[in-house]
């Protein structure tokens, strides 16, 4: 063991106020466990716009009581320097989830805030993350923290920070807080804690009871989030199976379901008994992320048991929402984040249009990696649409800025494809509670007309077109960074490369390349004044004309037309891991007569979900063709081209993949050829080896229609 590593470990050991981690570290030192010590002292857990998130353990590289307290001390110093009067009179809101250590981290933070003269308003039980941002906004507090790792594996915990507007902190505030944390970390003693019981007696630490949830319900209802006729003892048009995934959502969803919607548990509303109570071990889940279809198995089983029309889950901190709905055949199918985002956004736009003489007039938001379908819908209904960078630190701040400048009610809806929805201005963040009310309200109204959410989705396809999306995450070698890939891509562009060439030699020229690294840096003052342009970021957006456009004779095309209609490929690096993320979307129109032979846009969604009698097959003409499982060909429903490749730097030989399968099951997705070395396949959570059929090489990620 190096002397530097030993010195760091012993210094941390002296400072650590937690007897449990102190004992763990002492054992690592005594046993000369160099590997674990290096992992624990490889640098400080980075504080960014998402706060902290990491594996629980000892040392500055892990989540533990000392890293949390040093972070709280840095935040306290920032609050006192920014607005001492507000910090010491209004204080902060604190919430925590059901993970291991979360309650201790939250209350210890409150005790240090109290020592610094900053009062705390704390939720005393595991609470949905949106309730923290709500409390900050509602009570006019100086800020807030939530101890949560959201949907990460059970080994993780985290620390999320809200600013005085109730929004997630953004640049440059994150850097200012990080600087204060580093100063605190240089001290030889841990941050001091005030006595908890004395703080409760003198009111420096106040514990919320259920009054905040009651206030939240009233405010969300005042915004007309749930507009359908409630049932309250009458027959419900549709019933619901729900799971909080061992997280914090059950109590809030139970109250919303009973008080607002009028559902009765055990009659038309069921909560998964195995997953109802918060449990940081997540005993029934391999991975508590509702984007993984396997995570929905329990709630789907509950839905089948009680024949419910909807199966709904929140992620463990209840800020995200996943919905499965039955189609006209009775099949329960999961909606993707983009599909649900389009449905919810369209619902808000329809309501606004109806109440405003046919012109919605409200603003909708989505991130740059989300589907462009919402932008098309906003244009159709007379709204205004804005794209932001990824994450609700951008979406929430832009929405708040719009509402402050344009007036109450000007913001309509915002979402990101990762199941995050901002459906009401009561919370400037993704909110799985208000989103629950909105989707149930919509499903009730549709059910009373004899329709499903899938029927409405097909209506949207016919209204503004179909969106086909694919996501790909490229794992790079450990010594390679995502930024290296971006540098190489930009070098290719600088050298004059203006197209992608497939292995067969076919060229696909770029109609537009948008390099966000050339944009101006984010300017908070300009943003507050109304600048909604996308700021500088390490992202490349490639646009390729669809096959029905003859680029050789089309002349100069309008940039807006390209950005809203062409095939789009977004490439961005991971900021923390050796990965590159690729998001691909193609948009197309459904032509008259394309429902012949019984094929509809719903059939496309079904075949992409791996259900129904149809599948999409890749042809030598670089097109997807809709196929019947008996190999009878029907007219293609998606009038678009899927880009066939990306620079080879993205792909690496993988030695950990399963043996190749000879066949791909009927009804599985048959999609675009990528690269022979990218042979892993994930469709409906199943892993397949690369098929040997030359015309049926499946994509290595799910393809979604929205």
409 and 390 within one domain: yes
CB 536 within 8 A of CB 520: yes
264 part of a folded domain: yes
- For 312, the 3-state DSSP assignment is strand
Q: Is residue 96 part of a domain?
A: yes
Residues 517 and 410 in one domain: no
Tokens for 595? 């429902």
Query: How many CB atoms within 10 Å of residue 521?
Result: 9
Of 172, 190, 209, the residue at which a domain comes to its end is 209
Tokens representing residue 130 in the block: 């949106």
Instruction: Give me the percent of the chain exceeding a pLDDT of 90.
Output: 67
Structure tokens at 59: 């040392």
Distance CA 34, CA 351 (A): 61
For residues 160 and 305, membership in a common domain is answered with no
Residues 232 and 185 grouped into a single domain: no
The half-sphere exposure of 310 on its side-chain side, counting CA atoms within 13 A, is 30
Residues of the chain with pLDDT under 70: 1, 502-504, 547-548, 551-555, 575-576, 590-706
Residues 444 and 472 in one domain: no
- Residue 113, CA distances (Å) to 87, 104, 107, 143, 173 in order: 10, 14, 10, 12, 19
pLDDT at 554: 55
Do 520 and 669 share a structural domain? yes
Beta-bridge partner residues of 617:
625
**Bridging pattern class, strands 120-122 and 92-96:** parallel
Instruction: Say yes or no: 512 and 590 in one domain.
Output: yes
- Are both 669 and 540 inside the same structural domain? yes
Domain-terminating residue out of 209, 241, 268: 209
Which CATH number belongs to the domain containing residue 121 in this structure?
3.40.120.10
Cβ-based burial of 331 (10 A; exposed 0-12, middle 13-18, buried ≥19): middle
Q: Which single residue is written with the structure tokens 């000007």?
A: 410
Name the domain count of the chain: 3
The answer to whether residue 25 is domain-embedded is yes
Q: In terms of C-beta density within 10 A (0-12 exposed, 13-18 middle, 19 or more buried), how is residue 569 classed? A: buried
> Is residue 456 domain-resident?
no
* Residue 608 structural domain: 466-705
CA dihedral 81, 83, 89, 91 (to 10 degrees): -80
Q: Residues 255, 226: contact at Cβ < 8 Å?
A: no
Instruction: Judge contact between 365 and 421, C-beta under 8 A.
Output: no
Residue that is last in its domain, among 398, 416, 449: 449
Does 516 lie in the same domain as 610?
yes
Query: Can you give the pLDDT at residue 551?
Result: 67
Are 334 and 296 contacting, i.e. CB atoms less than 8 angstroms apart? yes
CA-to-CA distance for 232 and 245, rounded, in angstroms? 27
Q: Are 365 and 337 in contact (CB under 8 A)?
A: no
List, in order, residues 6 or more apart from 691 with CB less than 8 Å away.
660, 661, 662, 663, 664, 697, 698
How many beta carbons lie within 10 A of that of residue 624, not counting itself?
A: 27
Q: Are residues 392 and 508 in the same domain?
A: no
Torsion over CA of 521, 522, 524 and 526, rounded to 10 degrees? 70
Give the C-alpha separation, 520 to 534, whole Å. Answer: 9
Is position 239 within any domain?
yes
509 in the same domain as 374: no
564 within domain boundaries:
yes
Residue 17's pLDDT is what? Answer: 97
β-bridge partners, 620: none
Same domain, 630 and 653: yes
pLDDT of residue 592: 59
pLDDT of residue 473: 83
What does the alpha-carbon distance between residue 69 and residue 74 come to, in Å, rounded to a whole number? 9
Residue 405 falls inside a structural domain: yes
Is residue 315 included in any domain, yes or no?
yes
The reported pLDDT for the residue numbered 466 is: 83
Q: How many Å apart are CA 637 and CA 590, to the nearest integer?
A: 6
Q: Name the DSSP letter for residue 549.
A: S
The pLDDT score that the predictor gives to residue 591 is 58
- pLDDT value, residue 503: 63
């Amino acid at each position: 063991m190096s002397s530097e590593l030993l010195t760091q470990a012993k210094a941390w050991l002296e400072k650590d106020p937690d007897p449990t981690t102190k004992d763990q570290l002492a054992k690592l030192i005594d046993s000369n466990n160099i590997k674990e010590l290096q992992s624990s002292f490889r640098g400080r857990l980075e504080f960014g716009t998402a706060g902290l998130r990491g594996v629980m353990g000892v040392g500055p590289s892990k989540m533990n009581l000392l890293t949390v307290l040093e972070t709280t001390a840095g935040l306290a110093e920032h609050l006192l320097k920014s607005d001492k009067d507000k910090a010491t009179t209004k204080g902060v809101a604190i919430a925590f989830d059901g993970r291991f250590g979360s309650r201790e981290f939250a209350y210890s933070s409150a005790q240090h805030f109290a020592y610094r003269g900053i009062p705390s308003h704390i939720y005393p039980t595991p609470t949905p993350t949106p309730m923290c941002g709500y409390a900050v906004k509602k009570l006019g507090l100086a800020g807030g923290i939530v101890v949560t790792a959201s949907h990460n594996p059970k080994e993780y915990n985290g620390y999320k920070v809200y600013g005085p507007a109730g929004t997630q902190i953004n640049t440059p505030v994150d850097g200012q807080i990080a600087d204060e944390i580093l100063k605190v970390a240089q001290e030889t003693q841990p941050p001091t804690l005030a006595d908890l019981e004395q703080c409760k007696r003198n009111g420096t630490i106040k514990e919320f009871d259920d009054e905040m949830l009651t206030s939240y319900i009233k405010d969300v209802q005042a915004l007309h989030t749930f507009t359908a006729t409630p049932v309250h003892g009458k027959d419900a048009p549709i019933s619901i199976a729900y799971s909080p995934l061992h997280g914090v959502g059950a109590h809030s969803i139970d109250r919303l379901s009973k008080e607002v919607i009028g559902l009765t548990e055990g009659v038309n509303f069921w909560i998964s008994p195995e997953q109802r109570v918060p449990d940081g071990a997540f005993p029934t889940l391999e991975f508590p992320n509702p984007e993984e279809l396997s995570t929905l198995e329990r709630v789907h089983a509950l839905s089948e048991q009680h024949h419910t029309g909807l199966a709904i889950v929140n992620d463990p901190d209840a800020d995200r929402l996943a919905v499965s709905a039955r189609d006209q055949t009775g099949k329960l199918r999961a909606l993707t984040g983009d599909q649900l985002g389009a449905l919810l956004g369209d619902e808000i736009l329809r309501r606004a249009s109806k109440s405003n003489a046919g012109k919605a007039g409200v603003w909708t938001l989505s991130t740059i990696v989300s589907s462009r379908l919402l932008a098309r819908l906003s244009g159709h209904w007379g709204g205004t649409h804005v794209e932001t960078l990824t994450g609700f630190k951008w979406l929430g701040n832009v929405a708040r800025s719009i509402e402050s400048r344009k007036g109450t009610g000007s913001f309509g809806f915002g979402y990101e494809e990762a199941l995050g929805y901002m459906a009401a201005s009561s919370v400037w963040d993704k909110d799985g509670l208000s989103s629950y009310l909105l989707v149930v309200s919509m499903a009730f109204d549709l059910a009373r007309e004899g329709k499903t959410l899938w029927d409405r989705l097909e209506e949207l396809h016919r209204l503004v077109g179909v969106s086909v999306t694919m996501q790909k995450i490229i794992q790079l070698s450990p010594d390679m960074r995502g930024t290296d890939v971006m540098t190489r891509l930009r070098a290719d562009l600088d050298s004059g490369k203006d197209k992608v060439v497939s292995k067969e030699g076919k060229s696909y020229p770029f109609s537009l390349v948008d390099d966000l690294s050339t944009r101006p840096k984010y300017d908070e003052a300009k943003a507050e004044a109304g600048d909604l342009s996308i700021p500088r970021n390490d992202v490349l957006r490639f646009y390729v004309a669809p096959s029905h456009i003859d680029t050789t004779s089309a002349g100069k095309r309008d940039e807006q037309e390209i950005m809203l209609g062409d095939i789009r490929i977004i490439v961005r690096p991971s900021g923390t891991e050796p990965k590159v993320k690729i998001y691909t979307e193609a948009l197309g129109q459904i032509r008259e007569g394309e429902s012949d032979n019984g094929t509809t846009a719903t059939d496309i969604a079904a075949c992409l979900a791996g259900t129904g009698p149809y599948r999409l097959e890749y042809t030598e003409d670089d097109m997807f063709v809709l196929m019947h499982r008996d190999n009878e060909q029907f007219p293609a429903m998606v009038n678009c081209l899927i880009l066939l490749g990306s620079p080879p730097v993205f792909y690496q030989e993988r030695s950990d993949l399963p043996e190749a399968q000879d066949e791909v099951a009927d009804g599985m997705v048959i999609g675009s050829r990528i690269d022979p070395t990218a042979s892993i396949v994930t469709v409906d959570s199943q892993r397949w080896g690369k098929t040997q059929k030359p015309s049926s090489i499946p994509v290595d990620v799910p393809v979604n229609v929205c």
